Structure 1
Amino acid sequence: MMSGASTISKRTDTPFRYDIVGSFLRPEPLKIAREKYLNNEITEEQLRAVEDVEIIKLIAKQKQAGLKAVTDGEFRRSWWHLDFMWGFAGVDKVQLESGYVFKGVVTRAETARLSSKIKFSNEHPFLEHFAFLKAAAGEEVVARQAIPAPAQLLFELLRVGDNLQSTLAVYDSIDELIADIGEAYHQAILAFYNAGCRSLQLDDTTWGILCDPKNRARIEESGGNLAETLARSVKVNELATKDLPEDLVITTHVCRGNFKSTYLATGSYDAIAEAYFSQANYDAFYLEFDTERAGSFEVLQNLKDRHVVLGMISSKTGELENKAAIIARIHEAAQYADLDRLCLSPQCGFASTEEGNIITEEEQWKKIALVREIAEAVWQQ
């Protein structure tokens, strides 16, 4: 456990003391435009024009809220992860018979499936998306790009069923697949860097899923090996993030699912902590700690000299947390990781998919305001 007083330094780079995970509720004009586009009532260019306007408005709201790192809210995406995956050569958008099963609800039935070996192209649409964000954000804030982690793509392509069969039809071995994913991501990250990105967040719910005892049991029951699964996730992430420019901050976020205010998995970080925190190329970890599903803060002892953003404010509900209770929990966490290496954020984005969580935009911004208020009280900055 940590002991003694901490010297609090002023955060001048990501993550900041009060921070966000990235996605925001889609505003009504954007929802209407996307529906019209899907019904062939407007063109892709007309949809893009609406996206541009709403992203510019969102950036202004983030600045007004005092955020020092801003995103495009993922307004151009349907999914937090699949849209990026579909941008790689060799990865196709396909329909499933059923979607992901969350607590009491099922998502739309879409996935990413291989038709050929994975390659990165400089025509990946997210590069253009980031260029717009960077230009619109200006120089007084950090333009942050969030993408699904390499391990997330590996997980999607190895899903039992047609995904796994498709992958094994293209690749002779999992090691070859991991090498190609790692290289494609490495090139993508460098392309973002060349476009001006200095803060890149890799979202990685695979770890949250592997926290769940039921999911770990399924792996073992199907003949899999948990240690091997964890090692593969570490390997593909580290291949992608090795040998990067020193001024590029690489962070990662893990949660247990976030769809229409529901969740996918439960369980503490204990089973994955050793492997998860061993990933050497991350500067900071955004961790979900909004409910008892996440377990205790003891896992923070694995952080070493890196920062962690405590996701204590729920993005799933509009009810505001008790300020004093959250401050007490931050100091509880500081028993295991120096207070100077802690920051605060919502536990996840407000709209990991375009449907969004079941809260209002007003409640969303009140949550952001609460994060800032608490952080300023704790760290005086």
Structure 2
Amino acid sequence: MAPPYHADQIGSLMRPQALLTARAHLQDSSHIYDTISEATIHEAEQNAIDWAVQKQLDLGIRPICSGEYGRHIFYGGFFETLEGMTLHPELPIPDAFRTDFPTTTKIASMGINTRPGIVCTGPVRWKGSAYMAEWKMLRRSLPEEKWKECKITMPAPSFEHIQLKSGTAVTKESGYANDEAFFADLAKAYAAEIKALYAEGLRNIQIDDPNMTYFCSQQFLDGCKKDGTDTDALLDLYLEAQNNLLREVRELEGLQTGVHLCRGNFGSRHFVSGSYDKIAQKLFNDTLYDTFYLEFDDRERQGSFEPLQHLPRGKSVVLGLVSTKTVAMERKEELKKLMMDAAEIVAVGQGVSKEEALGSLALSPQCGFSSSSLGHGEGMTMEKMWEKLCLVSSTAKEVWQDA
């Protein structure tokens, strides 16, 4: 199956200065999650989204995204809207988190000793759409026939759970007997959100799950071992949590669902290294996703394309070969060669021709350009960002004539 677009993007864009100025007083840790409601900020968000949409239309960049301009950070705006989920602005590092958790150890090395997080303190219920305002701001300046060319991102169900110390993400007060029961209700909340957006015309949802690559990291695996955590069982728990929500929405005709995995995009830093071979077979074959967005901009950090041999027919992979961490421009011919190398691996694994395998691949940046309001690659500029997105588009047009 062909991916939604052979030239794709991950969702976040660098914020215009006017938006950063409007949100300047909300940069402390208590506002990483989006619990604010100020008319002047929403006006700045709408103006920024209108500008970004027009820029994408002018440059022919698809899918059309909001840039995540309605959020301070990519995972903001969902968990904090659910009944039964409680925000803790300053959880202590390392006490509240898993042993040697890559994100918190990196943050601690920078002198930061707390991090916000959200824990389950009661039955999880959807109270109303978290991202409807963002979706309506995104589609506002588009004719209805172009709504299907848009994409909205959401954080993975496991995002909070994976980072918190075992047994703390779901409290005894929540009433849940186990994690499976918690994730079952969380899936219903996700499904309600997706169905609400679908009813208003959205057809492309990307679930962002950067922490899934932590199962490729020896540091994370060793930390879990110290905590007495079975990482095979934990991975299965998270994959099933994703399948729970996908089963709830699979009757929605024309809905595209994909999952994005990366190694962190904290400025020009990454959090983990390790090949996808530790998770590829289960990820590709045991989940119900149509499309997998995988970071591959640094094969020394992410390993070779060999894990793509496990991709089954009927699913697609978007290869993140263009880096958002550096301003250096990739060479088009090298990108095309890498796409052919990846297609050859897929072809061997599926027993098909390289041309057929190539049809199930796409090209994108390895991550968004600004996963948080203030985080982007060292030296990255708006001009360079659009240049890189245009490089993705023009390269794809030469590889796939229909891109």
TM-score (norm 1): 0.89
Runs of 4+ in 1 over 6 A off after TM superposition: none
Answer yes or no: is 1:81 the counterpart of 2:75: yes
Which residue is equivalent to 2:307? 299
CA distance in 2, matches of 1:208, 1:105: 22
Q: Compute the displacement of 1:151 (Å).
A: 2.6
1:51, CA displacement in angstroms? 0.8
C-alpha distance 316-106 of structure 1, shift in aligned 2 (>3 A): farther
> Partner amino acid for 1:326?
L
Counterparts of residues 335-354 of structure 1 (less than 5 Å) = 335-337=344-346, 338-354=357-373
1:349, CA displacement in angstroms? Answer: 0.2
Structure 1 residue 377 displacement after superposition: 1.8
State yes or no: 1:121 paired with 2:127. yes
Determine the structure 2 residue equivalent to 1:355: 374
State yes or no: 1:65 paired with 2:65.
no
Aligned to 2:232: 227
Counterpart CA distance in 2 for 1:43 and 1:199 is 26
Q: 1:70 to 1:155 in 2, by over 3 A?
A: same
Structure 2 residues not aligned, in runs of 5+? 29-35, 94-102, 347-356
8 Å contact from structure 1 (residues 310, 342) kept in 2: yes
Q: 1:273-296: per-residue Cα shift (whole Å, max 9, x none)?
A: 122112442111100000021111
| 2:98 matched residue in structure 1 | none
Q: 2: CA distance between counterparts of 1:153 and 1:279?
A: 22
Instruction: Identify if the C-alpha distance between structure 1 residues 105 and 353 changes in structure 2 by more than 3 Å, giving closer, same or farther.
Output: farther
SS in 2 for 1:320: coil
Distance 1:150 1:353, change over 3 A: same
Taking the aligned partners of 1:106 and 1:332, their CA distance within structure 2 comes to 42
The secondary structure found in structure 2 opposite 1:270 is helix
CA distance in 2, matches of 1:44, 1:297: 46
Q: CA deviation at 1:19?
A: 0.9
Secondary structure at the counterpart of residue 78 of structure 2: helix
Match of 1:376 in 2: 397
Matched, 1:24 2:8: no
Question: What is the CA-CA distance between 1:172 and the residue it aligns to?
Answer: 2.3
Amino acid at match of 2:211: T
Tell me if the contact between 2:119 and 2:160 (Cα under 8 Å) persists in the aligned partners.
no
Structure 1 residue 239 displacement after superposition = 0.5
Structure 1 letter corresponding to 2:157 = P
Distance 1:215 1:43 in 2: 37
Structure 2 counterpart of 1:111, one-letter code? G
Which amino acid is 1:339 matched to?
L
- Identify the range of structure 1 (46-55 vs 292-301) with the bigger mean alpha-carbon deviation: 292-301
2:270 equivalent to 1:263: yes
- Which of 311, 322, 331 pairs up with 1:313? 322
- Contact in 2 for aligned 1:290/1:311 (Cα 8 Å): yes
**Which of 209, 216, 227 is the matching residue for 1:211?**
216
Tell me the equivalent position of 1:6.
none
Instruction: Check 1:38–1:302 CA distance in 2 against 1; reply closer, same or farther (3 A cut).
Output: closer
Question: How far apart in 2 are the matches of 1:72 and 1:317?
Answer: 22
CA displacement at 1:70 relative to structure 2? 0.8
Structure 1: which amino acid aligns with 2:244? L
**Contact 1:310 1:347 (8 Å CA) reproduced:** yes
- Residue 262 (structure 1) shift: 1.0
Change (3 A) 1:300 1:105: farther
Deviation at 1:153, TM superposition (A): 4.0
- C-alpha RMSD of matched pairs (Å): 2.3
Query: Given the superposition, is the C-alpha separation of residues 335 and 110 from structure 1 closer, same or farther in structure 2, using an over 3 Å criterion?
Result: same
Distance 1:230 1:43 in 2: 36
Deviation at 1:31, TM superposition (A): 0.4
Partner of 1:327: 336
**Alignment check: 8 A CA contact 2:240 2:287 kept:** no
CA distance in structure 1 between the partners assigned to 2:57 and 2:49 by the alignment: 12
Give the corresponding residue for 1:248.
Answer: 255
Alpha-carbon distance between aligned partners in 1 of 2:256 and 2:200, rounded to the nearest angstrom: 14
Please say if residues 100 and 106 of structure 1, whose CA atoms lie closer than 8 Å, have aligned partners that are also in contact.
Answer: no
**Are the aligned partners of 1:285 and 1:307 in contact in 2 as well (CA < 8 Å)?**
yes
Hey, what's the Cα distance between the residues in 2 that align with 1:43 and 1:227? Answer: 41
Cα drift, residue 251 of structure 1: 0.8
Partner of 1:4: none
Distance 1:270 1:261 in 2: 25
Which residue number in structure 2 is paired with residue 5 of structure 1?
none
Residue 164 of structure 1 is matched in structure 2 by 168
Distance, in Å, in 2 between the alignment partners of 1:38 and 1:149 is 23
Cα distance in 2 between the residues matched to 1:311 and 1:106 = 31
Match of 1:112 in 2: 118
Amino acid at match of 2:151: R
| Equivalent in the alignment of 2:100 | none
Deviation by residue 1:319-342 (Cα, 9 ceiling, x = unmatched): 101222111111100112210111
**Percent identity (aligned):** 30
- Give 1:43 deviation, angstroms: 7.5
Q: In 2, Cα distance between the equivalents of 1:134 and 1:215?
A: 40
DSSP-derived class of the 1:117 partner: strand
2:15–2:373 contact (8 Å) kept in structure 1: yes
Shift of 1:222: 1.4
Q: 1:314, 1:346 within 8 Å by CA — same for their partners in 2?
A: yes
Letter in 1 for 2:178: S
Shift of 1:169: 3.7
